[in-house]
Amino acid sequence: MYLGIWFLKGNAMKHTALLVSLLLGMAQAQGLKDLAQKHDLLIGGAIDLRYLLDDPDYTDILEKDFNVLVAENAMKMDATEPQQNEFNFALGDLLATYASKHNMKLRGHTLLWHQQVPKWITSGTWNKDELEAIMKNHIQTVAAHYQGKVFAWDVVNEAISDSGGMRDTLWQKTLGDDYIARAFRYAREADPEAKLFYNDYSSEGMNQKSNDVYALVKKLKEQGVPIDGVGMQMHLSVLNPPSMEEVAANMKRLADLGLEVHITEFDVRSAGYPGTPAERHAAVGKLYGDVVKVCVQASNCTAFMTWGVADNHTWLPGDSPLMYDGFYNPKPAYFAVQEALKGQ
Ligand code: XIL
């Protein structure tokens, strides 16, 4: 009898242990995208094609954690139209093929920006009609090429100035402020299905710039311009992050205009943080978790994307702004995002 109980107990313990290890295994196998799916949230990052092509550790991360990708550089104007009306879609197509093979969505970045503009444009002189034709041809050729492959485009990138008002760019100077409305209309004509976004930085909390972005997109909506959302780049610093209440309020006022929000280029600078490396990574992680919580709670925040994947490749050299370290180990930021996605 005594022995029998022992036997039962032993078996029950074994079963429990098996169950626990199975559940643990499942939890480990579950990537961020599986957790994000429960919130209808897309999660992903900006891709450097060099790594996509020959770094299996890199692609392992993408395939486990991400369900949306964006090209870090390969779909910008200097890459896609290196000579006038001669288009090069080779790298963007590779990314599109990879994304579709792995059931991931592809964001398009970006149809119109004042940086990474090809030399043939910056070295030429163009009157208004000529530049308008260049803008229209570029937007429509690229958007039409990726129709059915790109689900959302950053149509116009960074058109608001840091000191208030419209940014003085080659587009704005020659075409006037309403080039933005026309850029969106051209994009919609070329691809009626893709969601069209205005994308900018330092406009996530409540401040002069986010008020300007808000005023711009409100006006576009009132004019019947086809715009579906606002991209908040969110290149943050752990030293002076925006208030989460303000980010939530900003998302809410955009929701009230009927606009989605994508967090498009999230990363967190932490150089100069006063503390040990462990404290620094924890502080970065906390900010990651806080922002994902705000996004999950906002009715209109539908994507969270980091600008890069791991710290071995970031546009912020010498810093460690991403969820994975340079050896592809998950950092506190990764676990904070995981917890934020599990939490609610
Ligand atoms: C950056 C890339 O990460 C760099 O590799 C490139 O040299 C310059 O552009 N805002 C944007 C992105 O919208 O396109 C920028 O990407 C980072 C800031």
Bridge-partner residues for 166, per DSSP?
160
**202 Cβ below 6 A of ligand 1:** no
| Active-site entry in 72, 81, 132, 158 | 158
* Residue ID of nearest Cα to ligand 1 atom 9: 73
**126 Cβ below 6 A of ligand 1:** no
Task: Record the tokens describing residue 150, joined without a space.
Answer: 């790109």
In the chain, where the domains are located: 32-342
DSSP 11-75: HHHHHHHHHHHHHHHHHHH--HHHHHHTTT-EEEEEE-HHHHHH-HHHHHHHHHH-SEEEESSTT
Cis ω on the peptide bond leading into residue 97 (within 30° of 0)?
no
- Category of 148 on φ-ψ map: left (φ > 0), alpha (ψ -120 to 50) or beta: left
Angle at 240 between CA 236 and CA 243, to 5 degrees: 85
* Residue ID of nearest Cα to ligand 1 atom 5: 315
Task: Print pLDDT tens along the chain (344 aa).
Answer: 344 444 444 455 445 544 554 555 444 568 999 999 999 999 999 999 999 999 999 999 999 999 999 999 999 999 999 999 999 999 999 999 999 999 999 999 999 999 999 999 999 999 999 999 999 999 999 999 999 999 999 999 999 999 989 999 999 999 999 999 999 999 999 999 999 999 999 999 999 999 999 999 999 999 999 999 999 999 999 999 999 999 999 999 999 999 999 999 999 999 999 999 999 999 999 999 999 999 999 999 999 999 999 999 999 999 999 999 999 999 999 999 999 999 85
**72 Cβ below 6 A of ligand 1:** yes
CATH class for the domain made up of 32-342: alpha beta
Query: For residues 235 and 307, is the Cβ–Cβ distance under 8 A?
Result: yes
| Active-site entry in 81, 132, 204, 265 | 265
Whether residue 72 lies in the annotated active site = no
**338 Cβ below 6 A of ligand 1:** no
Neighbours of 168 (CB within 10 A): 10
Which residue stretches of the chain are H helix? Answer: 2-29, 32-37, 49-54, 56-65, 77-80, 90-101, 119-122, 128-145, 170-175, 179-190, 208-222, 244-256, 277-297, 332-343
> What's at 132, amino acid-wise?
E
**49 Cβ below 6 A of ligand 1:** no
Furthest CA-CA distance within the chain: 97
**Which of 158, 87, 81 minimizes the C-alpha distance to 121?**
81
* Residue ID of nearest Cα to ligand 1 atom 1: 315
Query: For residues 337 and 323, is the Cβ–Cβ distance under 8 A?
Result: yes
- Would you state the pLDDT for residue 5? 43
Task: Record the tokens describing residue 161, joined without a space.
Answer: 């100035």
- Would you state the pLDDT for residue 169? 97
Give this prediction's pTM: 0.92
Whether residue 189 lies in the annotated active site = no
Bridge-partner residues for 241, per DSSP?
none
Neighbours of 214 (CB within 10 A): 18
* Residue ID of nearest Cα to ligand 1 atom 12: 72
**Which of 300, 301, 282 minimizes the C-alpha distance to 292?**
301
**Which of 310, 306, 330 minimizes the C-alpha distance to 320?**
310
